[in-house]
Structure 1
Amino acid sequence: MRDSFVIGQYDWLKTQGGRPAGERRYAILRVGKIKTKGQLGAALSHNFRERHTPNADLDRLHENTVLKGPENGQDVVAAWEARAPEKIRKNAVHALEYFVGASPEKMAAMSRTQQDAYFRKALDWFEARHGKDNVLSAVIHRDETTPHMQILVIPLDARGKLNARELVGGKATLSKMQTDFAHEVGIAFGLERGRERSQATHQTIKEYYAHAQEPVEADFRLPERRKGHVLGVGRESDEEWRQRATEAAREAIVRAKAQYEDRLRQIERGAAQLLAGIRTHEQALRRGLGLSTPEERQMADIHMNGLLITARTRELSPTESRELVEAVETVLGPDGMTRLLGGDLDQLPGETFADRTQAAAPVLHALVDAGRDVTLALDRLEGHWRSLEEARQAEQEEKRMRARTVVIEKTHDHTHDEGDVWEL
């Protein structure tokens, strides 16, 4: 994310002065400008872990929480489009992304309930500042080293125009924002504002991840010999100094080993994520080329039918919707998908015309969510529904006519008195 403004002091910085490491208790607030829809989609893919994320622990993905907004990036983009003005300047900032956190040692000292309360209060603060409807998404990440929250805001001014300059333009505005955030949110949780006009230089996320991949360097220096006071009182003997130096070296080795092991775990997690992404991409390519095995098509057919049964009772979740698209692509293959998007709904599962038409609705809905053009297929589906309705009405009319015929026949065959009244 480029052109980011950083305010306050936090763990992703090279400090020059301020509190020593381990004693920092700063409220962290960072904001970045997103200038295009492409950058918007990329930021949301990171927030919702829809792409490989360095330093994110796959085993802790379930601990992430969507505090506000949709459950996936595509729906957040749709929410942005719903609020964005019809005309957008070429150089307009499309969105603001805020990073909310705290110094690692202070965040680690908070309980889960306290952390949640901090993030909730921060979200309320942003909604009051930017307007509740303009805060489109808030996601808490707990799958990285230090819990934090990322908030996406569409920067609309009072006229409904994209105007990030009015919200975060200039150092004075950013400095006041940091002060307000610390006083109105951070203080209640034992956090304070970073030093104003600090000479600290801050790292971008990209720089931080690059630094995380650097080799571990053992930080070790031999301890200085204690010289003692006047006349050598308290002077350290050679044996005492050797013992103390040996202990210091042993502690340095333990620290270096722990650092190497932590780095190894990070690499293993990153490799697992990368491998999962490669496998997902490979599966998509094989589906697109029609290279799925018979076993894969059989399993996909079972999964597809299960999702279609589910769709009869409730709306599919975004994850289920994506799974349905993948299953349909695997079962039909590229040629079948071309026919489907062209309006050939007869290849969908179902023994009868009505069954196949019923299956078409959730499939087409899932394809729309995936960004596919289903105009022709929708026209065909509408025609099918009209045909079904006409057939139903014709059947009802036929039943009514048969019932009328039976009444007429019974009337003609019945012996009755002249006073009897027969209504048809």
Structure 2
Amino acid sequence: MRDSFVIGQYDWLKSQGGRPAGQRRYAILRVGKIKTKGQLGAALGHNLRERHTPNADLDRLHENTVLKGPENGRDVIAAWEARAPEKVRKNAVHALEYFVGASPEKMAAMSRDRQDAYFRKALDWFETRHGKDNVLSAVIHRDETTPHMQLLVIPLDARGRLNARELVGGKATLSRMQTDFAHEVGISFGLERGRERSQATHRTIREYYAHASTPAEADFRLPERHRGNILGVGRESDEEWRQRATEAAREAIARTKAQYEEQLRQIERGAAQLLSGVRNHEKTLRRELGLSTAEERQMADIRMNGFLITIRTRELSPTESRDLTEAAETVFGPDGMKRLLEGDLSQCQGESYPERARTALAILKSYEDRGMDLAVPLQRIHDDLESFKEAREAEKARERVQERAIVIERTRDHTHDEGDVWEL
């Protein structure tokens, strides 16, 4: 679980002092700390939709935009490794994850181009603040109710060290960041900063993320009655005002109905995805406990071999890589996968050592692509492969020497046949 903290003094207000629902126009900025490479891989899996995201609409997945950085987590991690210092402290914050959004009703009122311009200006602001090369990834999500952007930044200080404390440490620094963001980015899009030192209840990135996935509230007020001028010209009668108010109420009810119908559709989609997730989780638990049936292991074996054949001609996609891992876990079982992750090839398939090594390397590579540090088992397998090749070469050399010795001996004894052909 990522350790998160809020910045600034704004959040959806639960006490006095905030704007009424429907009138909020705040620039939203949240930041969370990512402490390990594994957490970084998980964050990328979510941001780049390389893993199941329950509150995302699969039908709108194509509307997401990778504004900066690679389109897969493996390459983003490679970019992190290229920027990271040679020695990383155990307690170092590996990355900062920023959430950029706006009040749902204000964001809904923006055109698509206007939203894109807001997110691009926010990206420019982060690049100026943290350094262009240190902003590794920026993704706009439109497959959820309220559009927003999530960025991943490697927190390097001027000396090239991981130093999140210097960049975002302390309430004063975070408050200034909130103010600067609102003034330099938000204001030009009609957004403002929340009240400083308010009595608002603040939320973490995770809590705000959940709140941002709910529809904006309907904002309805009865229309003002036309009073006319001093002489009464243009004054609206009671009946005229009632008709206009009734029509306005009908329109508001229609908008609210459409909003709740959309929310109901999202709940139904979410329920279906949740059920699918429960089934997958049950399947994963059974696989991890070694409870897979013979039929499941046989099917997993076929799928795994298919992926291993494919990987000889091209790299697997993130989805195929996950499927390969799942199949391998089903085939080898929890103990077998543990040994394989240690570089023990006894559980791998293949009649010869090179075949087993190819199987192991393909499986371990799929894990490495998901953020695991497997340098030790991979090096062990590569070393064993080199030893195997050297042993094979030595064996072939011994066979050649032995063949020559036999030919020489037969020549000395004159026991060779006329059909013998020999070269020394």
**TM-score normalised by structure 1 residue count:** 0.70
Match of residue 4 from structure 1: 6
- Provide the secondary structure at the position in 1 that maps to 2:149: strand
Structure 2 CA distance for partners of 1:107 and 1:243, relative to 1, 3 Å: closer
- Provide the secondary structure at the position in 2 that maps to 1:137: strand
**Residues 187-266 of structure 1 correspond to what in structure 2 (within 5 A)?**
191=189, 194=192, 204=203, 205-208=205-208, 211=211, 226=226, 234-266=234-266
Could you tell me how far apart the structure 1 residues matched to 2:341 and 2:95 are?
A: 34
Deviation digits for residues 200-239 of structure 1 (CA, Å, limit 9, x no counterpart): 8696455556656889977656556555566765554454
- Provide the secondary structure at the position in 1 that maps to 2:192: coil
Match of residue 31 from structure 2: 32
**TM-score normalised by structure 2 residue count:** 0.70
Match of residue 362 from structure 1: 362
Match of residue 330 from structure 1: 330
Q: CA deviation at 1:304?
A: 0.8
1:108 aligns with 2:118: no
Could you tell me how far apart the structure 2 residues matched to 1:354 and 1:165 are?
A: 48
Contact 2:146–2:215 (CA<8 Å) still a contact in 1?
A: no
Match of residue 158 from structure 1: 158
What amino acid maps onto 2:31 in structure 1? G
Aligned residues: 404
Deviation digits for residues 36-95 of structure 1 (CA, Å, limit 9, x no counterpart): 4487676555434466656422222344344215723896499379726857596x7654
Could you tell me how far apart the structure 2 residues matched to 1:229 and 1:194 are?
A: 36
- Provide the secondary structure at the position in 2 that maps to 1:96: strand
Match of residue 72 from structure 1: 73
What amino acid maps onto 1:32 in structure 2? V
**Residues 13-412 of structure 1 correspond to what in structure 2 (within 5 A)?**
28=27, 30-34=29-33, 36-37=35-36, 43-44=43-44, 46-49=46-49, 53=53, 55-66=55-66, 67-68=68-69, 71-72=72-73, 76=77, 79=80, 83=84, 86=87, 88=89, 95-101=95-101, 104-105=107-108, 107-110=110-113, 115=116, 119=119, 122-123=122-123, 125-168=125-168, 191=189, 194=192, 204=203, 205-208=205-208, 211=211, 226=226, 234-334=234-334, 336-337=336-337, 340=340, 345-367=345-367, 371=372, 379=380, 382-383=383-384, 386-399=387-400, 402=403
- Provide the secondary structure at the position in 1 that maps to 2:56: coil
Contact 1:6–1:202 (CA<8 Å) still a contact in 2?
A: no
What amino acid maps onto 1:104 in structure 2? M
Larger radius of gyration: 1
Contact 2:8–2:175 (CA<8 Å) still a contact in 1?
A: no
**What percentage of residue pairs aligned between the two structures are identical?**
60
- Provide the secondary structure at the position in 1 that maps to 2:345: coil
What amino acid maps onto 2:152 in structure 1? L
Deviation digits for residues 323-346 of structure 1 (CA, Å, limit 9, x no counterpart): 222111112334544565576635
Structure 1: segments with no counterpart, 5+ residues: 414-421
Structure 2: segments with no counterpart, 5+ residues: 415-421
Q: CA deviation at 1:284?
A: 1.0
Contact 1:345–1:377 (CA<8 Å) still a contact in 2?
A: no
Could you tell me how far apart the structure 2 residues matched to 1:254 and 1:316 are?
A: 48
Could you tell me how far apart the structure 2 residues matched to 1:85 and 1:378 are?
A: 19
- Provide the secondary structure at the position in 1 that maps to 2:279: helix
Could you tell me how far apart the structure 2 residues matched to 1:133 and 1:167 are?
A: 16
Could you tell me how far apart the structure 2 residues matched to 1:89 and 1:374 are?
A: 17
Higher normalized contact order (CA 8 Å, seq sep 6+, divided by chain length): 2
Could you tell me how far apart the structure 1 residues matched to 2:139 and 2:272 are?
A: 23
